[in-house]
Chain A
């Protein structure tokens, strides 16, 4: 099974900050990586698919990058509605999620 290590597990930030979240796969996953946002009591929402493609309707302040085993989600200019938990998910071999990153004020 492919293990996904996400870091940090939590971070404190302010409105307007630029933040980055990293996901490392235990083996090459061919850019088959998605990023989700989840708010309390809600279902996860797709932000980025296949490492770097912005999902329709998602603000352009969200960006994904990386390939092989290391991937990054960057949010440029945090907005109040961005305080949430973020997960990476690989779908190269079966599926597995990272442990999540809680972005707090």
Chain B
């Protein structure tokens, strides 16, 4: 089965750091970009950025550039999305996806003091 399995939900305080993960299985992980998509509570889908697991080449949406970092470890078929300093406005569900077909189940990140 082709699958992206994401790490579990997180509750953090503003200013804390965080890394969430996305593990691919059932396909050649190196052959497809991994995208990260945010969905804030009750809002739409926002593309954040993507990484090529083969080369580690990364692209970012201007809205997220400098605030998050995407990375990947091809040896363990895993991609990551990380923040060095979370803000309350980072609260939301974060999906990894190869786009358009394979989506992770989403990771709920809650940032609250």
A-side residues, CB < 8 A to B, are 1, 34, 36, 38, 43-44, 46, 49, 55, 85, 87, 89, 91, 94-100
Contacts and interface: CB of A to CB of B under 8 A. Distances in A.
Interface stretch (B19-27, B68-76, B77-85, B99-107): B99-107
9 contacts: A1-B61, A34-B100, A36-B45, A43-B106, A46-B101, A89-B45, A94-B50, A97-B44, A97-B46
Contact of B105 (A38, A43, A85, A95): A43
A38 B45 CA distance: 10
B5 to A, nearest CB: 12
B44 A100 contact: yes
Interface of B: 35, 37, 44-47, 50, 59, 61-62, 95, 99-101, 103-106
B62 A95 contact: no
Given A43-B106, A89-B100, A95 B35 contact: yes
A26 B95 CA distance: 25
Contacts of B46: 97
Contact of A44 (B50, B61, B103): B103
B103 A94 contact: no
Contact of A95 (B95, B99, B104): B99
A94 B61 contact: yes
Q: Which 10 A-B pairs have the closest CB atoms?
A: A100-B44, A43-B103, A95-B47, A97-B45, A46-B100, A34-B100, A99-B44, A46-B101, A87-B45, A96-B47
A27 to B, nearest CB: 16
Nearest to A91: B99
